A and B are shown apart, each in its own frame.
Chain A
Amino acid sequence: MVLLELSELSKNFGGLRALDKVSARIKKGGIVGLIGPNGAGKTTLFNVVSGFYKPSEGTVLFKEEDITHLRPFQISSRGLTRTYQETNLFHDFSVEKNILIGCHLRPNIGFFEQLFGMSSAKGKQGITTKKIGEILELFELTSLKNELAKNLSHGYQRTLGVAIALATEPELLMLDEPFSGMNVEETKSMIAHIQKIHQEKNLTILLVEHDMKAVMELCDRIIVLNFGKKIAEGSPSEIQKNRAVVEAYLGADENAV
């Protein structure tokens, strides 16, 4: 089943064409990598799909529904959640509270229910507490749950970013450079976390990443962008052999004809 379908997606910033007729289909259940040199349009693609930018042309279908013109919060409420390249957390809140806010969508508690603490809201809060416990456990953050987000080390902050996204119970999770700024150990444990949530929650994952080793290890399918255009798509081994991809990263070899 196709979960996300991009057709002829373009985005112009003034005279700059950041995305140029990108089409792609992401099937349910896989881990898809989105790679490309700096400025290839990867983050722009994320911003367009998650509703932060409106595309200049083209459509985005999620679960066969047109989400092109929906606003970010509407898109995440349909089961598509993204993380950020830079560390984006509620810094003055504890780890636990950060995840609690991630749980905002499910179960949904109405405004007056929140304000006057009706019994239905209390029941739902019980469910939420249990869910937060599970997520903390999953990301090995339980011992840090009362720590303020700003006091965490970089690796844990990145992990918390993914944990918040997971709390929205997405079907498609989009990770923007989950390994950026991480050392080897941190990268390893992040890979393990991503594999774990992929299996346990039956999640489809789309990730942007520069760490090729991690991408090749994690992803079963890779999409390559360059100058806003899709230049290749395939399995990791196919991509490694693809000439256009090698040229995009290393430049064309003038002697080889």
Chain B
Amino acid sequence: MNKINFKLTIIVALLIILFLFPTTGNIHWTRVLVEVFIWATVSLGFRLILTAGQLSLAQVSFMGLGAYTVGIMTTKTNLNYWICFPLAGVFAAFFALIIGYLSLRTRGIHFAIATFAISEVIRLTWIEWKSLFGGVGGIPHIPAPSPLFGFKFESTASFYYLSLFLILFTILIMHRMDRSKFGMILLTLEKSESLSQSVGINTFEYKIIAFIIGSFFAGLAGGVFAPFYHYIGPDDFSIHQTFYVLIYVLTGGVQTIYGTIFGVFTLIMALKLIHHLPGFNPVWEPLFLGCTLILIMKFLPGGLISISPKRLP
């Protein structure tokens, strides 16, 4: 009982801090946290697919699909943002259904390569189809979301709350899935797919559902990303970004939701600190992440979260 109370206290305290953070008025770090929430959402989706034993190298492309959905719809059709935002997730999920149906018959490295190819196809489509996607220039001047219940989305704080709700919603759904029979069966696919099949599990169906849900959350994250930066381009959603997500997840720990979020938080913070170093060169970013990945794989295969003596739920 005491342990549960302890956990609950920590969670409530964390929530209070998170909800009050923008009142400190520190715009720089508020923006950094928005970034953390957005990438944590993408990473949790990525983790779900990874749990089912599939490495999707198109995760950030699905985020891009969501972002472009919002970008195009709000700039070209004047549709209300609050209609476009859920559509960003739905559109990414729909695309995942088609791509998953075609590619999930492959496994392991073959699936990774197939999704890598798909991510390139998507990126090149954005570049080449200029009239719709704006080519390398991307889509500028994406408007801020229209007011919702009188709440205006002009300040950084407003985006902070939008992304905070997104990540809390994602955690809630992911937590339910981890605890359910669905989550347990996903884990079996990675362990022994043949045995899963012979006890009557439709492994293809489970993999495709995981892929769709993971991509859905990537799409939603893209839907917040687009108005937050007011500009999106093909380079925002390249394969490098997917590798960043992969490194965040593996660094934090793929086993738990908290590990994944911790990885995103720690590494994005570390990257921000690196930006402030004298003589900063953008090349340092992948260099730092690459070294982190090697060190983690070598010394902490369970991720940073495996250091903690008492693991959180």
Interface residues of A (CB under 8 A from B): 50, 52, 71-73, 76-77, 81-84, 88-93, 97, 100-102, 104-105, 109, 111, 114-117, 164-165, 167-168
Contacts and interface: CB of A to CB of B under 8 A. Distances in A.
B32 interface: no
A102 B188 CA distance: 11
A253 to B, nearest CB: 42
Given A88-B192, A88-B195, A101-B185, 18 more contacts: A71-B202, A72-B197, A73-B202, A73-B203, A76-B199, A81-B198, A81-B199, A89-B192, A89-B195, A93-B191, A111-B209, A114-B181, A115-B176, A115-B180, A115-B182, A165-B199, A167-B199, A168-B199
Contacts of B203: 73
Interface string B182-201: 10110110011011111111
A116 B209 contact: no
Given A101-B184, A115-B180, A90 B191 contact: yes
A101 B196 contact: yes
A117 B183 CA distance: 13
Contacts of B202: 71, 73
B274 interface: no
A114 to B, nearest CB: 4
User: What does DSSP make chain B's interface, helix, strand, loop or mixed?
Assistant: helix
Contact of B199 (A71, A101, A111, A116): A101
A76 B200 contact: yes
Contact of A76 (B177, B182, B188, B198): B198
A73 B194 contact: no
A164 B198 CA distance: 10
A117 B180 CA distance: 8
A226 to B, nearest CB: 27
A115 B200 contact: no
B201 A104 contact: yes
A72 B176 contact: no
Contact of B195 (A114, A115, A164): A164
Contacts of A50: 198
A92 B190 CA distance: 11
Contacts of A73: 196-198, 200-203
Given A115-B176, A116-B176, A97 B191 contact: no
Contacts of B181: 104, 109, 114
A91 B187 CA distance: 11
B177 A84 contact: no
Interface string B160-182: 00000000000000001100111
Nearest to A149: B191
17 contacts: A73-B203, A76-B199, A76-B200, A82-B198, A83-B198, A84-B198, A89-B192, A89-B195, A91-B191, A93-B191, A101-B196, A101-B199, A102-B199, A109-B181, A111-B209, A115-B177, A165-B198
Contacts of A101: 184-185, 188, 196, 199, 201
A105 B200 contact: yes
A71 B205 CA distance: 12
Given A165-B199, A167-B199, A90 B180 contact: no
B267 to A, nearest CB: 27
B221 to A, nearest CB: 21
A89 B196 CA distance: 9
A72 B209 contact: no
Nearest to A78: B200
B194 A88 contact: yes
